[in-house]
Amino acid sequence: MKQAKYIFVTGGVSSSLGKGIIAASLAKLLQARGYRTTIQKFDPYINVDPGTLNPYEHGECYVTNDGAETDLDLGHYERFLNVPTSQANNVTTGRVYLSVIEKERRGEFLGKTVQVVPHITNEIKERMQLLGKSGDYDIVITEIGGTVGDIESLPYIESVRQLLWDLGDDNAIVIHLTLVPYLAAAGELKTKPTQHSVKTLMESGIKADILVCRTEHELSSDIKRKLAVFCNVKPEAVIQSKDASSIYEVPNNMLAEGLDKVALQKLNLPEKGLPDLTKWNDFLHRLKNPTATVNIGLVGKYVELQDSYKSILEAFVHAGAANQVKVNVVSIHSEYLTKENAADKLKNLDGVLVAPGFGSRGIEGKIEAVRYIRENNIPFMGICLGMQMAVIEYARNVLKLENANSTEMNDNTPHPVITFMEEQKTITEKGGTMRLGGWDCQLIEGTKAYDIYGTSLINERHRHRYEFNSYYKEKFQEGGMIFSGVNPDTQLVEIVELKDHPFFVAVQYHPEYKSTVANPHPLFVNFVKATVQKKLNN
């Protein structure tokens, strides 16, 4: 089997420089040159996965087909590459320690003292090479979370150092992403933070091969030369990454700077001609030349933090480009939405999406939003908790099931139209125990969902504990609600929709996780189309 080549991406000076986007952009270019490329992320926190983290802590939790709850950067990897990721693509310190401690309990270390070096580093190294050894990839890009110099990143940095030594020069390189700040008072770009950050990396025994410099202003050739000399890299390996208006511009910017070329040279791999970005550039063209703007409300309780709904926002970007319109997402805080102000907040919107979520904060606002949208024929899409709220709203206001609710919010509701799944009843642990990952869904012919997908069997990703209560199925059907998608094995309801409404589709699963640049999600595409139609009719 051919040896996979490794590219490690570390970060310096500051967090939030966009290592994930740089890694995804480089991967895109390498993929477009014909290399089978994947990206993995190693996160230095002690949670075993981000599934138990509040979105305010770490943004959205992204879910893969195999049901892994992962870092949101994996979403970028999939959106850029259009290749699914899995549990193997995201490893945290917690997962590494858990596995080493379990091995210790099983006696696998044969009486040895278990230590960070070599036991933790060996575990990390093994996991870093897992995808590379599968034979599925030519190049594996590994993003190391955090910033060089952080205490918690040390075992990862040491593992990278050892792997560079094990694999040899042609097989592994390091890209260091840094910040070149602009000091307005001095009118100058400053290289010193980068020099120090590269030095910190050196103290751990790692020499950066390529520098990617985030900057608000153009780096002059003088600055580039200075960075090259003092950071000990080749001049062509100083890559400028100037702020871009969209993350989807970054691959082309990196191409112009020659990031992929330098990486291939260092790995001793042929360029194989120019990268084929035809489809990507076609998407960019549609993204940058919208023919109209639609305003879509996003009703949720984490709206202050953009990262909480990352995949939904990106799915709108893809669906907007597919319709060649700009989707302007208007954040609406569900906690402050009431019967009294719903009309004010929603009447000028072309469509509304009610977001996923957990717990009772803000749910009455979501229910009011659905009521207003349903009664006023505004295109609506509900996701997960959003679908559950649509069901509750229908139960209360149309079927007159007073105080209908989800047992997540009220255990004593007289009408538990949304309730715990049977197999969830005995579960006491919170981590990794929801209904997770890809599940089949059978679509019913003649429904909107069937039309949208154009097929009868789909597979979508889930992340929830509660379900539509099948006990109420007939009552809802008699009352006009259509169950257009069900799980073929359990008959659990996956999609609800309404007739005689321009667009009213709510899903128990998360379509946003599967939307990519190459494959915009059909539900989002058709929802945006309905909002364009609504705007035209107004």
Residues in the site for ligand GLN, rule: CB under 6 A?
A: 356-358, 384-385, 408, 463-466
Instruction: Please say whether the beta carbons of 215 and 190 come within 8 A.
Output: no
CB within 8 Å of 353: residues ≥ 6 apart? 296, 297, 298, 299, 312, 380, 381, 382, 383, 386, 527
Closest contact distance (angstroms) between CB of 524 and ligand GLN is 17
Extract the tokens encoding 4.
């996979």
Q: Which amino acid is at 175?
A: I
Closest contact distance (angstroms) between CB of 308 and ligand GLN is 12
Residue among 452, 442, 311 at smallest CA distance from 379: 452
Helix (H, G, I), strand (E, B), or coil: what is residue 469?
coil
Which residues are registered as beta bridge partners of 43? 92
Closest contact distance (angstroms) between CB of 424 and ligand GLN is 9
Closest contact distance (angstroms) between CB of 442 and ligand GLN is 20
How many whole angstroms from its chain centre is CA 204?
31
CA angle 91–93–97, rounded 5-degree value: 110
Closer to ligand GLN by Cβ: residue 328 or 491: 491
Closer to ligand GLN by Cβ: residue 450 or 509: 509
Closest contact distance (angstroms) between CB of 66 and ligand GLN is 18
Instruction: Please say whether the beta carbons of 449 and 495 come within 8 A.
Output: yes
Task: Please confirm, yes or no, whether 104 is among the known catalytic residues.
Answer: no
Instruction: Please say whether the beta carbons of 238 and 221 come within 8 A.
Output: no
Instruction: Please say whether the beta carbons of 464 and 67 come within 8 A.
Output: no
DSSP 118: I
Closer to ligand GLN by Cβ: residue 71 or 257: 71
Q: Which of 384, 408, 441, 494 is catalytic?
A: 384
- Please identify which residue in the block is written with the tokens 């230095």: 44
Helix (H, G, I), strand (E, B), or coil: what is residue 262?
helix
Give the Å distances, CA to CA, from 40 to 8, 12, 143.
Answer: 10, 19, 6
Closest contact distance (angstroms) between CB of 71 and ligand GLN is 17
Residue among 336, 333, 297, 289 at smallest CA distance from 313: 297
Task: Please confirm, yes or no, whether 384 is among the known catalytic residues.
Answer: yes
Closest contact distance (angstroms) between CB of 91 and ligand GLN is 23
Closer to ligand GLN by Cβ: residue 10 or 508: 508
CB within 8 Å of 99: residues ≥ 6 apart? 123
Q: Which amino acid is at 79?
A: R
Closer to ligand GLN by Cβ: residue 281 or 433: 433
Report long-range pairs for 100-108 (Cβ below 8 Å, ≥24 apart): none
* Distance in angstroms (rounded) separating the CA atoms of residues 438 and 152: 33
Closer to ligand GLN by Cβ: residue 191 or 405: 405
Closest contact distance (angstroms) between CB of 357 and ligand GLN is 5
Closer to ligand GLN by Cβ: residue 32 or 367: 367
Closer to ligand GLN by Cβ: residue 143 or 408: 408
Instruction: Please say whether the beta carbons of 264 and 271 come within 8 A.
Output: yes
Task: Please confirm, yes or no, whether 441 is among the known catalytic residues.
Answer: no
Please identify every residue annotated as catalytic. Answer: 384, 510, 512
